[in-house]
Chain A
């Protein structure tokens, strides 16, 4: 078993204490942790899913832009943060696994550790409205 990098462990500890939904992905973009508030968005519990591949989490919410057009995965903030290693912010709509349509703002940034090690990315979600 390979241990997570220390910066990622500390990021998870912080996420566990915060009330905002937070996703943490590894350098491949796979979802390695999400906190309890994020469980409400995903409609599933972290302890039940374990690691979720990027192809799965990036489509599971059916993200659409403000005009209702589907957003391709590579335009999602967290995917941009990991693939282009730059911060990204976007407002869009998602449909959670509970069926609710939500307008959310997402800020994502790459996680760069000591000695410039690229460790993955973090996304923080803000719910604008719930319909």
Chain B
């Protein structure tokens, strides 16, 4: 499967000369299978550019939302296939105890916050709510599970053959833990990430920032590297960078942590435009 990064930033789009290399768009990753299935992970501002690059022959798209915070849905109405006739759009996201996924999305995608409703953009739009179970989409088998982040948030493990890609863009597994890492069975996200070929994980904060922002739902870069080690992944992709971190700062932070931890897995920092192949 081919994994491509269209938005790597967390919290807020941050285009600037200082964020050109890693990118300023918010979370969006595409996963394409060998049989042509396209899965989109989150609909941050990066989804706009992805929509322009999808094949005009594509007839069905699956958008898997981890949660409904703005940086993960803001690009949705700007996704060009929504306005294309004959394209079936399936939106998957976390269930709620009160409102449907559609109703929760409409809170943003309706006046006065947005001039057009989703229904006006597409007539072939389908919503699916995910608690914790496995779904089959094309050649992919996808596990969804709740993870630690404010408001119900799910992570995804996408399997194709023997290979697995895990996507945990907003995740604070160290929340409330006296020590981290701790026991595997008491660690949020462990089942999703265990032994993955590719782990895409939240690396929002420095350690100093984390101490001031515990409970915001994000990881320090160190915690993310430790989580990758605990879960014995083969390849780690730092993701969901803080909007205040410039390219140069990210270079420095990632080089420093890599030197400190000496990870036993490969590390490739995500950046807009990066594509990685995972052999199924």
Contact = CB atoms under 8 A, between A and B. Distances in A.
Contacts of B95: 114-115
Contacts, number: 53
B187 A114 contact: no
Contacts of B187: 3, 9
Contacts of A129: none
B186 A4 contact: yes
Contacts of B194: 1
B55 interface: no
Interface size bracket, B side: 20 to 34
Contact of B148 (A1, A6, A16): A6
Interface string A90-119: 000000000000000000000001110100
B152 A114 contact: yes
A5 B148 CA distance: 10
B146 A6 contact: yes
Nearest to A114: B152
A45 interface: no
A5 B146 contact: yes
Contact of B145 (A6, A12, A16): A6
Interface in B181-202: 184-191, 194
Contacts of A2: 185, 191
Contact of A3 (B97, B175, B191): B191
Interface in A38-90: none
Contacts of A14: 176
B190 A3 contact: yes
B94 A4 contact: no
Contacts of A114: 94-97, 131, 146, 152
A14 to B, nearest CB: 7
B224 interface: no
Interface of A (DSSP majority class): helix
A22 to B, nearest CB: 14
Given A13-B177, A16-B176, A115 B132 contact: yes
B175 A13 contact: yes
A1 B184 contact: yes
A115 B184 contact: no
Contacts of B148: 6, 9-10
Nearest to B184: A1
A5 B184 CA distance: 12
Interface string A3-35: 111110110111011000000000000000000
Nearest to A33: B186
Contacts of B145: 6
A16 B190 CA distance: 20
A6 B191 CA distance: 11
B178 A3 contact: no
B232 to A, nearest CB: 11
Nearest to B149: A6
Given A3-B190, A6-B148, 20 more contacts: A1-B184, A1-B185, A1-B194, A3-B189, A4-B185, A5-B146, A6-B188, A9-B148, A10-B148, A10-B175, A12-B186, A14-B176, A16-B176, A17-B176, A114-B94, A114-B97, A114-B146, A114-B152, A115-B129, A115-B131
Interface of B: 94-97, 129, 131-132, 145-148, 152, 175-178, 184-191, 194
Rank and list the top 6 A-B pairs by shortest CB-CB distance, nearest first: A13-B176, A115-B131, A6-B146, A3-B191, A3-B190, A115-B95
9 contacts: A2-B185, A2-B191, A3-B184, A10-B148, A12-B186, A17-B176, A114-B94, A115-B132, A117-B132
